[in-house]
Structure 1
Amino acid sequence: MLKSLLTSALLVLGTAAAAQNEYAAIAELKAMNRSVQGLRSMADGEHYTTLEQGNVLRYAYASDEAGVKLLPAAAEQLTITDYALSSDERSVLLATERTPIYRHSYTTRYYLATGGRVEPILREAFAPRDASFSPDGSRIVYSDRNDLYVYDIASGKTRRITTDGAWNEVINGTTDWVYEEEFGSTRAYAFSPDGTRLAYLRFDETQVPLMEMMRFDGRLYNEAYTFKYPKAGEPNSVVQLWVADLATGRRERIDTGSETDQYIPRIGFTPDGRLWFHRINRRQNVFEMILCEPHGAQRTIYEERAQQYVERVDDGTVTFVDKDRFLVRQESYSGYMHLYLYSIRRGRLAQVTGGEWEVTQVVGTDGKRVWYLSTETSPLRRNLYSVRLDGSDKRRLTEGEGYYTVVPSRGMKYFVTTFSNTRTPNRVEVCDAAGNAIRTLCDNRDLRIRLMVANRPAKEFFTFRTERGDELNAYIVKPRDFDPAQRYPVLLTQYSGPGSQQVVDRWTLDWEDALADLGYIVVCTDGRGTGFRGERFKKQTYGRLGALETEDQLSLARHMAAQPWVDASRIGIYGWSYGGFMALNCALKGHGLFKMAIAVAPVTSWRYYDTIYTEIYNNLPQYNAAGYDENSPINFAQMLDDRKTRLLIIHGTADDNVHFQNTVEMTRALNRFGKQYDMMVYPDQNHSMQPDATSHVRQKMIDYTLRNL
């Protein structure tokens, strides 16, 4: 008996060691998948710049000549994280040594490279961030400790634009936590085209409840980090729009309507200098674009209403063509995300695209045509098209069957395309306006050879029909020596959040691929509520987050269990964030269907999550309490069958996004019912398990799967 136990222990240890080696190999392969970093088009549309070799290099789109360094050698001693060229392209603003704040925000040190020299600037600033050149390149505007400043390059002098900024009270020119996280931006200011005026948002956070997040950081006494975080149903910041005259310092508040409980996610100026702003109601089912005329009048030049919600706006929702015409990307008219041409003076002019597919990104326009990425060939793929603004003469410009991302040149003369699919890592090419490849910038040949020699298993796509009749897209990764006569354990990996997509024809590798190397099958499906299959498919989960999505994951588990080459007694599920919420739901409602579940940084009650994300999909808790409580895993912790299902919950204590509170309350509920589970805590790590635990958490999940599945 002792010999048998010893042999089993050695086998487990040997497998774990192999797994560690396998994950190191996975991480190495991921790092080999190169692309082109910091790519920017230059003003002439014939050249572009990249960030490489510790310098900013200039290249010609159509020529294979070596890049020209734009920075002096002294700059190569800096750790450059971002850069921007002035309008005359004679100066370069460099951001170095970034210190993260939240997901997108960071403070940094700024340097200015000009005239063959590179020198530090903004030295008097304590924590500068979000700096940018004025349109004429003579000034730099930046934020420091919640106030805006303007730095005059010629004189080296700084003027303070706002004076009332204060931590956890007032923010000027940068966004609060929830705007940054959910609207995806940190810079909350915009220059007029002539550079004389600066529009900016002012956030009054005084009524937003305070969140305390404990920081340990190896101190003798731990310390609470406090920040304003509006949870579902709670007060948001009151946001105002102001315009400052950069020459005189005079400021003017712009009327944004009588309602203060609303969102202003984007501001800007038309090409002829008129101020505009986006306005969305708290329910997020009415979106307006407001234009401010020079004499003070305002008018709504675009309005969209939806029964459930209007999809969150971003920089590509509205694209100006000229001083009168603009393109809108929206789904409310046809049920699919498409492009429409509008006039400030005459309203809607044309539907530019249409069909049972979706425009995913507006790449650019030259005033006659628009270039865009879409799912026309498949919801799993992205291709580049162009079409006239009246909807005629549509052309497909990319031919690969997979996933393209595109960066255009000024004037739409050239494009830099990055292509991959499940079997092909990144291939970066320069193409002309018609889509013809001119030259290859990166083909990852070394990685392709490594993949070929290793015969790495790749995703295979399939569809399956649930018991309710819904057809869902899915992928499967099988071990490289797959034998249908054998029976394999299966791990379901998923995210499942509204409008998301995991089943996509794009090259990726992560910790689950190490499991495929170790004899596991990995499967993923995009259930109801996920994106790129039309508005109806996406919005059916509205008001009851977690209900339909859980049904679909359970259906996938039963579908896999019915396959003759699957060991139905060894099915597990994993997810992170929204996926962690789902992994818990499935573990508790699966009635022993899952032998193992791993939930990382899980939302356990939508009452604990932020206003913008939660309320757009679930309404406010004041009006939809059932939608918050009936699908919260906290409220059915007693359903965990811990004799059949091993549960691992993982969380970082410094998660400013999905607070550690979610895991605390989940474990409190499990403890109340005497349930057994496992837990891994990462001190002072954020939602992505950074800065220190990125690899460790993945190795932990591999080891846990090997022992429990």
Structure 2
Amino acid sequence: MKIVPLLSFLCLSVMQLAIGQQKQISLEEIYDGTFGTEGLEVLNSMDNGKQYSVLNFNRSSRVSTVDLYNYETQEKVETLVTSADFDEIPYFTSYEFSDDESKVILATEVEPIFRHSRLGIYYVYDVESKELTRISEQKIQEPSLSPDGSKVAYVFENNLYVLDLQASETTQVTNDGKINSIINGVTDWVYEEEFAFVKAFEWNSDGSRIAFLRFDESRVPEFSMDVFGQELYPYQYRFKYPKAGEENAGVSLNIYQLKKGETTKVDLGDPYYIPRIKWRNHPQHLSVQTLNRHQNKLVLYDVNAKNMKVSVLLTEKDDAYVDIHDNLTFLADDSFIWTSERDGYNHLYLYNEDGELMNQITKGPWEVTAYYGYDQEEDRVYYQSTENGSINRDVYAISSGGGDKLRLTKQDGTNLADFSADFTYFINTFSNAVTPPVYTLHLAEDGELVKELEDNSELKDMLKDYEFSPKDFSTLSINGNDLNMWMVKPADFDPSKEYPLLLFQYSGPGSQQVANRWMGTNDYWHQILAAKGIIVACVDGRGTGLKGRDFKKVTYQELGKYEVEDQIAAAKELSELPYIDPARTGIWGWSYGGFMSTNCLLKGNDTFEMAVAVAPVTSWRFYDTIYTERYMRTPQENASGYDENSPLNYPELLEGDYLLVHGSGDDNVHVQNTMRMIEALVQANKQFDWAIYPDRNHGIHGGNTRLHLYTKMTDFMIENLLKTDNQ
């Protein structure tokens, strides 16, 4: 077995801190915010590039303000708007400027619909006149100001509306919207979840037109969930949810011309998916991305809104699938920057306005992980990448021609950037496995430090009083690949003893759990388990991300095969270490990770003695079209891929201890997955433990829910992984 250490220097400082520590981390502290980090409020860079705005909320007075700050001095310049000035707004929870910054939309009384979608009462604040206008008497979705701030488009009950602020007149653009049937201007459930956007309309650059998507989901199968609530009778919540192989909503692109009050449907040749629309700088030209059902062919179109002529700008094809991203940027002349995996790694490309490739901006055996923007005046592209190792992130600048590359961040770990509008400054968020988030202001020209903003020193000092074990990074050679791994050992680790092993993983396509960044709540929980005497490890196997196209897409049409093989092989390899007891090996995961932990316990029943699966997929036949078919095609085309890796089909393989957990109100991975798994195990006469959390969604949270869940999982792991110690 070959384990190659990485970043071992990170561990030394933590080990030194650990000397003399006595306090134990508790679950109550994890979930009452004891270990929360201080951060910067979400900021909005103003067009002048010298200032930014922040939403502040005073908890004692319950007053919201939008305040302006100076980048260089970090001093407050002025308060743009305060809820204290208006009786109709007790406080607001978000804000959005018009392009010319003359108006601000303020959100109040916001309530969630699904993961990203919201309903709320919204107002428009005029910065100059200081007047406040309520957009609608009803709760609406996705209000959006025209570029000059004179109008607001929004969606109400699946129809698109436009409010003229000067004339105080509202125009209903569409009339056929109907719940669970026709949607205009916002996305359906599956687009929202898998293409990660809700607002499906866009203003053009001069505010004369609105492009919007229309969804006809009348033929999409309906899913229902029982909601138990607090009343005498429960009720059913129904919504359209296309499962793999079933019918999707028909989608069409339309352009509304405000002056004429006319809507025209754009002929795109009956596209299957339209995952992105974006106006170009020229007000008559719209870019549209379409995907076929297999999601292995993406076409970027230009639509001339004057004559509705459609032309192809570029086409992306892949033997497996093409990922959707938000990196399309149009330059002043409507040439554009785009990211693609066409050379085997995700990189930046420059095209002219007609879609002809000018050059590849970045290249190398590493991935561009974020695109921050283009400074036209300096001809500089700003991006984040894994050039310094796949578990690290750094921020770079490069010319559009691919020259003059400069690393702007200096510390190994995870670096995130937020640039000012004119690319004079950027705020860097840095963390690594032993450093909580540090926020610093830098010059974009060379990365020079301007000012330290927040370093979470109080949290770091507080943690010195706790028993704390280092996260040791390494690589593990498995099935011909060097897989990234971290391991956490008990603080009083004795190499002459044998410890149980618990693997944590997610393993979904393109994901990453082994990263050099600060701890999340699961990391704190793993510290509790380590303090109990359990070694916790995480291995990112084949199918995970940031190591190139081929490594990620090897799992195509076989979700749950190679990833499971890698976790079983990793557990076997680690069990050969002299300080790990091969008879006490567990694995746990959530969602895709729950699918994985269940499969590993069954297919690896000679390796794993215990598994915990939270909100797992148990058959990809139950999951949605866009996600599942991207990686598996349809069940009709790939029945063996679906069934041979579904734990529903081999429950008789269960030999170890198994805890199965789900929320009954999960609109994403339906509790149906767990109920079918329970039935399969019952009919196989296999004993197991399970828990259902009433009305909880995929996150299984709210009140004491998380504390209860993690207490249950902790007790289960102690009972089943440490049981030989208690005999």
* Common fold: TM-score over 0.5: yes
Moved more, 338-347 or 575-584: 338-347
- Does the CA-based 8 Å contact 1:46-1:61 persist in structure 2? yes
TM-superposed CA distance for 1:459, in Å, is 1.6
1:412 CA drift (Å) = 1.3
Gapped runs of 5+ residues in structure 1? 1-17
Bigger CA drift: 148-157 or 22-31? 22-31
Q: What SS is found at the alignment partner of 2:460?
A: helix
Greater mean deviation of Cα atoms: 279-288 or 689-698: 689-698
SS in 1 for 2:711: helix
Q: By how many angstroms is 1:94 displaced? A: 1.4
What are the within-5 Å matches in structure 2 for residues 473-552 of structure 1?
Answer: 473-509=484-520, 510=522, 511-552=525-566
Instruction: Summarize the Cα distance change of 1:184–1:346 in structure 2 as closer, same or farther, 3 Å threshold.
Output: closer
Is the counterpart of residue 652 in structure 1 residue 663 in structure 2? yes
- Are positions 1:629 and 2:643 aligned together? yes
- Aligned positions of 1:35-184 closer than 5 A: 35-53=39-57, 54-66=64-76, 68-74=78-84, 78-114=90-126, 119=132, 121-125=134-138, 127-184=139-196
Are the aligned partners of 1:19 and 1:703 in contact in 2 as well (CA < 8 Å)? no
Q: Quick one: which of 573, 576, 598 aligns to 2:612?
A: 598
1:314 maps to 2:325: yes
Question: Equivalents in 1 of 2:436, 2:595: separation in Å?
Answer: 31
Q: What is the CA deviation profile of residues 247-269 of structure 1, one whole-angstrom value per residue up to 9, with x for unaligned ones?
A: 44211111111x34x11001011
1:223 and 2:235 aligned: yes
Q: 1:550 to 1:67 in 2, by over 3 A?
A: farther
Q: What's 2:695 paired with?
A: 684
Separation of aligned partners in 2, 1:382 and 1:409: 20
> Aligned in 2, Cα 1:30/1:436: closer, same or farther, shift over 3 Å?
farther
Q: Displacement of 1:321 after TM fit?
A: 2.0
The correspondence for 2:339, drawn from 317, 329, 333, is 329
- 1:275: Cα distance to partner? 1.1
Structure 1 residue 376: Cα displacement = 0.4
Q: Aligned equivalents of 2:598 and 2:136: distance in 1?
A: 49
Letter matched to residue 273 of structure 2? Y
Amino acid at match of 1:356: P
Structure 1 distance, partners of 2:56, 2:494, is 45
Q: Once the 2 structures are TM-superposed, how far is the Cα of residue 89 of structure 1 from its aligned partner?
A: 2.8
Structure 1, residues 501-533: CA drift from partner, whole Å, max 9, x if none?
A: 000011023232321233222100100000000
After TM superposition, give the deviation of residue 88 of structure 1 in Å.
3.8
Question: Contact 1:75–1:118 at 8 Å: present in 2 too?
Answer: no
Q: How far apart, CA to CA, are the structure 2 residues paired with 1:336 and 1:597?
A: 34
The answer on whether the counterparts of 2:151 and 2:164 sit within 8 Å (CA) in structure 1 is yes
Q: 1:292, 1:299 within 8 Å by CA — same for their partners in 2?
A: yes
Whole-angstrom CA distance in 1 between matches of 2:563 and 2:45: 42
- Size of the alignment, in residue pairs? 682
> How many Å separate the matches in 2 of 1:640 and 1:20?
35
Matched, 1:360 2:364: no
**What is the distance in 1 between the residues matched to 2:108 and 2:137?**
16
Aligned to 1:589: 603
Distance in structure 1 (CA, Å) of the matches to 2:502 and 2:607: 12
Alpha-carbon distance between aligned partners in 1 of 2:77 and 2:501, rounded to the nearest angstrom: 48
Partner of 2:416: 405
The code of the aligned residue for 2:366 comes to W
AA paired with 1:325? S
Written as runs of structure 1 = structure 2, the 5 A alignment for 1:163-562 is: 163-257=175-269, 259-260=270-271, 262-273=272-283, 274-293=285-304, 294-311=306-323, 313-316=324-327, 318-332=328-342, 334-345=343-354, 347-367=356-376, 368-433=379-444, 434-454=446-466, 456-466=468-478, 468-509=479-520, 510=522, 511-562=525-576
Specify the alignment match of 1:4 in structure 2: none
Aligned counterparts of 2:581 and 2:72: Cα–Cα separation in 1: 55
Structure 2 residue matching 1:556: 3-state secondary structure: helix
- Specify whether residues 539 and 440 from structure 1 end up closer, same or farther in structure 2 by C-alpha distance, changes over 3 A only: same
Q: Which amino acid aligns with 1:310?
A: V
Secondary structure (helix, strand or coil) at the match of 1:449 reads helix
CA distance in 2, matches of 1:229, 1:30: 39
SS in 2 for 1:587: helix
User: Which residue is equivalent to 2:28?
Assistant: 24
Contact kept, 8 Å, 1:22 with 1:517, in 2: the verdict is no
Q: State how far apart, in whole Å, the 1-side matches of 2:355 and 2:602 are.
A: 55
Quick one: which amino acid aligns to residue 540 of structure 1? V
- Counterpart amino acid of residue 56 in structure 1: V
| Change in 2 beyond 3 A, CA 1:427/1:341 | same
Contact 1:172 1:201 in 2 (8 A): yes
Give runs of aligned pairs for residues 571-582 of structure 1, distance below 5 A: 571-582=585-596
Q: Output the amino acid matched with 1:43.
A: D
Q: Quick one: structure 1 residues 89 and 556, their matched pair in 2 at CA, closer, same or farther if it must change by over 3 Å?
A: same
- Say which SS state the counterpart of residue 132 (structure 1) adopts: strand
In structure 2, the residue corresponding to 1:634 is in which secondary structure?
helix
The CA RMSD over aligned residues, in Å, is: 1.9
Letter in 1 for 2:232: L
| Cα separation, 1, equivalents of 2:66 and 2:292 | 42
Relative contact order: is structure 1 or structure 2 higher (C-alpha 8 Å, sep ≥ 6)?
2
Percent identity, aligned pairs only, is: 43
* Matched AA of 2:137: E
Contact persistence 1:335–1:534 (CA under 8 A)? yes
Letter in 2 for 1:629: D
Q: Distance in 1 between matches of 2:287 and 2:410?
A: 38
Matched AA of 1:315: D
- What 5-or-longer segments of structure 2 have no aligned partner? 1-21, 58-63, 722-727
Q: Is the 8 A contact 2:427 2:439 kept in 1?
A: yes
Mean CA deviation greater in 35-44 or 597-606: 35-44
Question: In structure 1, what is the Cα distance between the partners aligned to 2:333 and 2:419?
Answer: 21
- Which sits farther off after the overlay, 72-81 or 377-386? 72-81
Give, in whole Å, the separation in 2 of the partners of 1:168 and 1:346: 38
In structure 2, what is the equivalent of residue 3 of structure 1? none
1:48 Cα deviation from its structure 2 partner: 0.7
Q: What is the CA–CA distance in structure 2 between the aligned matches of 1:652 and 1:30, rounded to whole Å?
A: 26
Q: 1:482 to 1:78 in 2, by over 3 A?
A: farther
Is the Cα–Cα contact under 8 Å of residues 266 and 277 in structure 1 kept in the other structure? yes
SS in 2 for 1:24: helix
* 1:10-61 Cα deviation digits (max 9, x unpaired): xxxxxxxx99961122335675212222211111111111222332221111
